[in-house]
Amino acid sequence: MISVCIATYNGEKYIEEQLFSILNQLGMDDEIIISDDCSTDNTIEVIKKLSDSRIKLFFNEEKGYTSNFENALKQVSGDIVFISDQDDIWDPNKVRVCLEELQFVDLVVSDCKLINSSNEVISDSYFKLRSVKKSSWGNLVKFSYLGCCLAFRSEILKKALPFPSNRQFCTHDNWLFLVGSFLFKHKVLEDTLIYYRRHDGNVSTGGLISATSRWFKIKYRIYLCFFLIKRSLLN
């Protein structure tokens, strides 16, 4: 069973197109878990209008996108988990490719193409733009991957949940990749399996812009390493 986890917030403009791109690849026993962060637009109405029993809607009690994703992940029933943003578009082969790879590893992360608000491709590879570090240790030096490009076996959640409590030093994508790559078997895929949308309403910078100080980055990594070691010692 597949569980797709989506965190929404004022996503009425793109959420329907994204949901269709996902639902078309799922079976009737799969699920899309949506956690909404108190949207003030018509996001909820757009979701409910689809009337698809595979969509399960929850509401986030702790404000913020990392907590919103964590709330979605806590509801997972499937043995395979996909992370999704509200405003991207999945490539038609995304699920098939990831499932094939997850027969041999516990976590995969793929490349993606970047699109604008009009669905025009503005870059053929996020990996090239970001100059990603493909090793686990390299990724700790430079966080390289997007949460929306992750797919993994649900066993990883036993180590990853609950997220470390300081949201300033723990974002869902970096934490999940660190847990999956250091404590489990992972693989980086060169396939571009989503169209990653960049527009004026994006909550995150997607790792393409950094305004944090060097001292903040050091504290960020020390914090994550501490909890990574702590989780590795858990049975």
Please report, for the domain that includes residue 203, its CATH number.
Answer: 3.90.550.10
Side chain identity at residue 63, one-letter code: K
pLDDT digits 0-9 by tens, 151-206:
999 999 999 999 999 988 999 999 999 999 999 999 999 999 999 999 765 455 45
Q: How far does the chain reach from its first CA to its final CA, in angstroms?
A: 25
pLDDT confidence bin for 147, thresholds 50/70/90: very high
pTM: 0.91
**Separation CA 9–CA 97 (nearest Å):** 28
Structure tokens at 68: 């919103």
Domains in the chain, number: 1
The pLDDT, as a whole number, for residue 214 is 87
The pLDDT, as a whole number, for residue 137 is 85
Please name the residue that has the structure tokens 């960020």: 220
pLDDT digits 0-9 by tens, 21-37:
999 999 999 999 999 99
Structure tokens at 216: 């903040």
pLDDT digits 0-9 by tens, 114-128:
999 999 999 999 999
For residue 108, the enclosing domain spans: 2-232
- Which neighbouring-strand residues pair with 205? none
**Separation CA 211–CA 228 (nearest Å):** 25
For the chain, state the CA radius of gyration. 17
Task: List all residues 6 or more positions away from 210 whose beta carbon is below 8 Å from its beta carbon.
Answer: none
